[in-house]
Amino acid sequence: MAKIKICGLRRVEDIAYVNQCKPDYIGFVFTGSRRRVTKEQAKELRALLKPDITAVGVFVNEAPRIIAELVQEGIIDMVQLHGEEDEEYIKQLKSLIKDAVIIKAVRVAGEEDILRAQELSADYLLFDTFSQTGYGGTGECFDWKLLQNVEKKITKPIFLAGGINCENVEKALALCSPFGVDVSSAVETNGYKDSEKILAMVNKVRKIK
């Protein structure tokens, strides 16, 4: 059964929704986005989060020491890197956060992007839709066949992101067999997390074998 991550939580209500639905992971965005939260906001929200839900911090080209502080203070459990972080950066971050898991997001324009990511020492990979203007959150799918074509060469667990919703998640899981799926805009209404949509997505993924 695939894992599910609900990203972009920023309100007390959002935490109440996920505490009820219990996805495997939630994401706090610490970079330029309408979903961005400060360290103080994330700390308050994390205190309300049920302990069996893993909190992931999402960053873009952030100073490693800033990320390390969030991990060390127990505000986040895992780190998701969405920028141009290279192997040197990942090694430096690993030296600071020790056992915390790192997810490296890759914006997929072609098969070479997928294969190149294998060379990084991140623990997980997240494949998202390529955008010329941003670092994710497009709400659009990339060509999943690109991932399917090189699936046997991928050795790390992967998350699939970009335009995944209740209507296409079954197809996504069948084509790509990811470790987990990452959703955000698909579980929102008018830019805010929607409890019914979150519940529907979690239930849908949990029913897919």
Q: For residue range 102-115, list pLDDT tens digits in order.
A: 999 999 888 888 88
Task: Quote the pLDDT of residue 83.
Answer: 93
Give the homologous superfamily in CATH for domain 3-207. Aldolase class I (3.20.20.70)
- Token pair listed for 53: 């839900």
CA angle at residue 173 from 176 to 153, to 5 degrees? 20
- Token pair listed for 25: 């992971």
Q: Which residues contact 66 (CB under 8 A, 6 or more apart)?
A: none
Q: For residue range 73-89, list pLDDT tens digits in order.
A: 999 999 999 999 999 99
pTM (predicted TM-score): 0.93
Task: Quote the pLDDT of residue 110.
Answer: 83
- Residues 168-174, mean pLDDT to the nearest whole number: 93
Query: CA 136 to CA 102: how far, in whole Å?
Result: 17
Q: Do the beta carbons of residue 110 and residue 146 sit within 8 Å? A: yes
Task: Quote the pLDDT of residue 144.
Answer: 87
Give me the residues paired with residue 29 across strands.
36, 58
Secondary structure class of 84 (helix, strand, coil): coil
Q: Which residues contact 2 (CB under 8 A, 6 or more apart)?
A: 173, 178, 179, 180, 181, 205, 208
Catalytic residue status for 128 = yes
Q: For residue range 113-166, list pLDDT tens digits in order.
A: 888 888 899 999 999 986 645 555 566 788 888 888 787 788 899 999 999 999
Residue 175 has pLDDT above 90, yes or no: no
Catalytic residue status for 141 = no
Give me the residues paired with residue 128 across strands.
107
- Cβ neighbours of 112 (radius 10 Å): 11
Residue 19 has pLDDT above 80, yes or no: yes
Q: For residue range 37-74, list pLDDT tens digits in order.
A: 999 999 999 999 999 999 999 999 999 999 999 999 99
CA angle at residue 116 from 8 to 140, to 5 degrees? 35
Catalytic residue among 14, 24, 128, 182: 128
Q: Do the beta carbons of residue 145 and residue 115 sit within 8 Å? A: no
Q: Do the beta carbons of residue 170 and residue 208 sit within 8 Å? A: yes
Q: Which residues contact 83 (CB under 8 A, 6 or more apart)?
A: 31, 59, 60, 61, 62, 135
- Token pair listed for 149: 């074509």
Catalytic residue among 7, 14, 176, 182: 7
Q: How far is CA 94 from CA 25, 75, 87, 199, in A?
A: 20, 17, 10, 34
Break the chain into its structural domains and give their ranges.
Answer: 3-207
- Residues 2-20, mean pLDDT to the nearest whole number: 97
